[in-house]
Structure 1
Amino acid sequence: MTELSPDVIIGAVSIFTAGITMAIGSIAPALGEGRAVAEALNAIAQQPDEAPTLTRTLFVGVAMVESTGIYCLVVSMILIFANPFWDHFIGKAGG
């Protein structure tokens, strides 16, 4: 049985973690945005005169909810392309 080298393990764990981060980190913003839009449409249907105010507030809220998904994307990109564990491993390996 062959032994896995540490760089293979670090790469596999980094890719797996990046995938899980994006999978879990994109579910909550998607559900939150869907609910926010549904509630905004309901409010606009009940009070059409307040549509500009509700729309402006909706866009600000959706942008704040979307930031969670963007943060997860940034963490995933760091894990894949700028992983700090790679530098530590390469330094220990003498490369």
Structure 2
Amino acid sequence: MDAEAAKLIGAGLASIALVGAGVGIGTIFGNYLQGALRNPSAAPSQFANLLLGFALAEATGLFGLVVALIILFVF
């Protein structure tokens, strides 16, 4: 196995973090929507928590993407 193949495999494995971010974001927004439909008066007070959860879930995906790009273009 040469170095180019190993680099591509490593970048592909690092990209798996993007799948986790997508699942996490879907779960966060789905649960928020479910809660907002059950209790509409509580939804505005939970919007800040929604954005915080979205940002944290998206950050993990972005870190995985950055690692994949570093593997591809630096090594």
TM-score, normalised to structure 1's length?
A: 0.71
* 2:55 aligned residue (47, 60, 63): 63
Q: What is the alpha-carbon distance in structure 2 between the residues aligned to residue 28 and residue 41 of structure 1?
A: 20
Q: Which residue of 2 aligns with 1:79?
A: 71
Alignment: residue pair count = 75
The alignment yields a C-alpha RMSD, in angstroms, of: 1.4
Determine the C-alpha separation between the residues in 1 that align with 2:20 and 2:72: 22
The match for 1:30 is: 22
Question: Which one-letter code corresponds to 1:55 in the other structure?
Answer: F
Partner of 2:13: 20
Unaligned runs of 5+ in 1: 84-95
* Distance across 1 between alignment mates of 2:9 and 2:38: 46
1:44 to 22, 36, 42: 36
Cα offset for 1:72? 0.6
What is the CA distance between 1:14 and its match in structure 2?
Answer: 0.6
Query: Within 2, Cα distance between the matches of 1:72 and 1:47?
Result: 36
Distance 1:53 1:82 in 2: 44
Unaligned runs of 5+ in 2: none
Normalising by structure 2, we get a TM-score of: 0.87
Q: Which has the higher contact order (CA 8 A, sep 6+)?
A: 2
Structure 1 vs Structure 2: percent identity of aligned residues?
28
